[in-house]
């Protein structure tokens, strides 16, 4: 990977030989501040019934880590991996479960921790899939929701940020497995032309 350089004239960050990472959509400071707020709200809402946090891999791993530390309850965690993107920048619409949960959901208060909601099709499928396991409750905490992109009605209990419909990377989000390690959320503008 090429070293990080700033293109001051355009405000873009050049990271790989042909890729250009665009402007910051959500700063590292704003992410951390909002996660503390979400953790406080979850703590208040789940008093007396610690939630089972279900992280959706791979994109939600950073958010899940920070969010779990912001929740002042003895929460448990589990992970599942679903995909509808592959290495593309647009969803294929076909949801595939790559890794299922290890824990039983029966009569548990489950909080799905999702990185980003785009069309909502993957999340809608995931909610139906998890509800079939008869949890006591099932709620969603999404870090990002793309404005105007949902093709299905969703009930999102906790939302970090509503963002423009750009393809974004950083803070766990990737393109072809790259850029998850950026500390902020950036627009991805694709290969340099």
Tell me, yes or no, whether 166 lies in a domain. Answer: yes
Q: Which of 79-88, 133-142, 176-185 has the lowest mean pLDDT?
A: 79-88
Rounded-to-10 torsion of CA 62, 178, 161, 60? -30
Active site positions, annotated: 118
Domain that holds residue 43: 25-84+94-173
Tell me, yes or no, whether 73 lies in a domain. Answer: yes
pTM score, whole prediction: 0.83
Tell me, yes or no, whether 3 lies in a domain. Answer: no
Tell me, yes or no, whether 2 lies in a domain. Answer: no
Tell me, yes or no, whether 187 lies in a domain. Answer: no
C-alpha closest to that of 159 among 112, 191, 91: 112
CA 161-26-81 angle, 5° bins: 65
Tell me, yes or no, whether 33 lies in a domain. Answer: yes
How many C-beta atoms surround the C-beta of residue 107 within 10 A? Answer: 9
Tell me, yes or no, whether 35 lies in a domain. Answer: yes
What per-residue confidence (pLDDT) applies to 126? Answer: 92
Rounded Cα gap, residues 79 and 103, in angstroms: 9
Q: How many domains does the structure of the chain reveal? A: 1
What per-residue confidence (pLDDT) applies to 48? Answer: 93
CATH number at residue 98: 3.40.50.2020
Q: Are 54 and 78 in contact (CB under 8 A)?
A: yes
């Amino acid at each position: 990977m090429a070293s990080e350089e700033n293109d001051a004239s355009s405000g873009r960050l050049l990271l790989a030989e042909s890729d250009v990472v665009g402007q910051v959509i959500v700063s590292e400071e704003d992410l951390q501040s909002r996660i503390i707020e979400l953790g406080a709200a979850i703590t208040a809402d789940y008093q007396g019934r610690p939630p089972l946090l279900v992280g959706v891999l791979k994109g939600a791993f950073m958010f899940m880590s920070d969010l779990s530390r912001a929740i002042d309850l003895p929460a448990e965690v589990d992970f599942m991996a679903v995909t509808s993107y592959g290495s593309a920048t647009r969803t294929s619409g076909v949801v595939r479960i790559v890794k299922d949960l290890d824990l039983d959901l029966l009569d548990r208060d489950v909080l799905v921790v999702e990185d980003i909601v785009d069309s909502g099709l993957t999340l809608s499928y995931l909610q139906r899939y998890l509800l079939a396991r008869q949890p006591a409750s099932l709620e969603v905490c999404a870090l990002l929701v793309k404005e105007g992109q949902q093709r299905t009605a969703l009930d999102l209990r906790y939302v970090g940020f509503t963002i423009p419909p750009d393809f974004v990377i950083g803070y766990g989000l990737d393109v072809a497995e790259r850029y998850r390690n950026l500390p902020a959320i950036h627009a991805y503008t694709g290969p340099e032309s």
